[in-house]
């Protein structure tokens, strides 16, 4: 695919940093990359999976809004400002893609990036 490597890098970096921040101590963050064949062509799929507390179902869309953070008091110490996922979401959408999150069976969150392989975005 052809895209803006700086924007894609920042999106990935934010998502992986979240996974490392929120996964339970001693657990592993996993990444998976695959390619799915769609009618419109190939779609790149990146999954970032952790073993943290996950996100309450009713807030799973809200975490993509700017400055949205779960449980402010508990997480103040972790120092984020709550913009990482909002920036990532915009970067992925600029590449005609989608960003989604889901709770995993067995605990933790999976954040999934999907980008069609043939998009062309100005550098």
Ligand X SMILES: Nc1ncnc2c1ncn2[C@@H]1O[C@H](COP(=O)(O)OP(=O)(O)OP(=O)(O)O)[C@@H](O)[C@H]1O
Which residues would be at the binding site for ligand X (CB under 6 A)? 14, 18-19, 22, 50, 52-53, 55, 63, 68-70, 75, 80-86, 109
The interface partner of residue 116, options being ligand X, Mg ion, none and the CB cut-off 5 to 8 Å by kind, is none
3-class secondary-structure state, position 35: strand
How far does CA 118 lie from the centroid of its chain?
21
The interface partner of residue 109, options being ligand X, Mg ion, none and the CB cut-off 5 to 8 Å by kind, is ligand X
Q: How far apart are CB 14 and Mg ion at their closest, in Å?
A: 5
Residues 79-102 as b/e (b if ≥16 CB within 10 A, e otherwise) read eeeeebbbebbebbebbebebebe
Binding part of the chain for Mg ion, among 3-11, 14-22, 25-33, 43-51 by CB under 5 A, reads 14-22
Which residues 6+ apart lie within 8 Å of 66 measured at CB?
A: 82, 83, 86
Question: Which residues from 34-93 bind Mg ion, rule CB under 5 A?
Answer: 80, 84
Q: Which is nearer to ligand X, 19 or 92 (CB)?
A: 19
Q: How far apart are CB 3 and ligand X at their closest, in Å?
A: 21
Q: How far apart are CB 36 and ligand X at their closest, in Å?
A: 23
DSSP 24: P
Closest CA relative to residue 107, chosen from 46, 33, 22, 16: 22
Residues that bind Mg ion in the complex, under the rule CB under 5 A: 18, 80, 84
């Amino acid at each position: 695919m052809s895209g803006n490597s700086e924007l894609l890098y920042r999106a990935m970096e934010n998502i992986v940093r979240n996974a490392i921040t929120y996964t339970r101590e001693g657990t592993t963050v996993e990444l998976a990359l695959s390619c799915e064949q769609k009618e419109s062509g190939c779609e790149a799929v990146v999954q970032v999976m952790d073993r943290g507390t996950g996100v309450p179902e009713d807030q799973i869309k809200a975490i993509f809004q700017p400055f949205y953070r779960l449980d402010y008091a508990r997480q103040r110490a972790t120092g984020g400002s709550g913009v990482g996922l909002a920036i990532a979401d915009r970067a992925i959408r600029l590449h005609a893609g989608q960003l989604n999150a889901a709770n995993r069976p067995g605990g933790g969150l999976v954040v999934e990036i999907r980008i069609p392989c043939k998009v062309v975005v100005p550098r």
